[in-house]
Amino acid sequence: MEVRWSIRQLLLQAFGVLCSLDKTIINIMLNSILPGELARDMMSNPRNIPKLNYSALLLTMVFSMGESMPITHFELLGPQFIIFLLDNIENPPDTDIDEQIPDLFLNLVISYNLQFKSKSENIVINALQKTISAKSFTERILWLLNREEDPVRIFDHEPAPPHSVLKLFLDLFNNENTADLFYTNDIKVLIDIVVRNIADLSPGDNRRQQYLELCRLILRNTNYHEHLHRREEFLKCFTRIFCEETEQSKPDQNIVKAILNEFPQYFK
C-alpha cells in the first residue's frame, strides 16, 4: 500500500466513499489485503492519531455489513489486534488530544463482532475474557444501548445486519466471564433499558425478541438473585405479552415461557 501519508490519506477517503456506493464494493474490500494492511499499519503506529483515525473508520465500514472475513485475515486481524483495540479504549495514547480513539476503536470492535455467529468462535469475547479491566468499554456500550444507537449502521445497504450494539450485549451476556465485566450498578442500568424496550416495542419487532433473550441471559449469568432489580416490572411485561393474541406474539411468548420455566424462583 502507498506509504506517503498525503496520498494514503486521500486513498482511504476514496475507499470510504466507494463503500457507500454498493455492498459489493465492501465485500471486495473485505476479501482483499486491505484490512490486514490497515491493521498492520495501526499496530505499527500506535501513537499516530491521523493514521489510527482513518484506518479505524475504514475498517469499521468494511466490517459493518456483518460478513465473515477470510480465514487468512486472522493472522493480522486476530486476537492480538482486538487486544490492541481494547487496550487503547481503556488507555488511549497520550497523543490523542481530542479523545477520539476510544470511540473510534469501540465502533471498530462493535463492527468486527458482527461477523461471529456463535460464542465458541468469537474472537472479541475470547479477548475480553482475558482483560483485567474493561470499565471504559462497558460504560461506552451501555451508553450506546441506552440511546438505542447503532454507530456502525453507516450505510443503507440491504440486507441490513443485526443491530450491532444489541448483538454485542447478547454475546457478552451469553458468557459468565464477560457478563462479570459489568459492575452491579451497570447491570441495574442495563435491566432498566431492557425493561423499557420490552414494554415499548410491539409484537413482531425482532428487537423485542432480542431484549427478551437478553433478559434471560442476565438472569442466568449475573448475580440477579442478590438485588432482584425490576422484578415486578419484568413480571408485568411477561403478563402483558402472554395476553397478546396475535400470531406475531408467539415467538416472544415462547421466550417468556422459557424464562419462567428456568427461573421460577424469581417469578412466582
Per-residue pLDDT of 245-257, as tens digits, reads 999 999 999 999 9
Residue 185: predicted pLDDT: 97
Contact 22, 157 (CB under 8 A): yes
Residue 2: predicted pLDDT: 63
For residue 150, give the C-alpha cell.
447503532
Cβ neighbours around 156 below 10 Å, total: 8
Q: What is the 3-state secondary structure (H, E, C) of 115-167?
A: CCCCHHHCHHHHHHHCCCCCHHHHHHHHHHHHCCCCCCCCCCCCCCCCCHHHH
Contact 223, 266 (CB under 8 A): no
Residue 107: predicted pLDDT: 99
> pLDDT tens-digit profile of 88-146?
999 999 999 999 999 999 999 999 999 999 766 899 999 999 988 899 999 999 999 99
Give percent of the chain above pLDDT 70: 99
Q: Say which residues have a Cβ less than 8 Å from residue 112's Cβ, sequence separation at least 6.
A: 59, 63, 77, 82, 123, 124
Residue 118: predicted pLDDT: 73
Average pLDDT over residues 62-68: 97
Please report the sign of the dihedral spanned by the C-alpha atoms of residue 83, residue 79, residue 132, residue 229.
Answer: positive
* Domain coordinates in residue numbering, the chain: 1-135
Q: Per-residue pLDDT for 172 more than 80?
A: yes
Burial of 173 (0-12, 13-18, 19+ CB in 10 A): buried
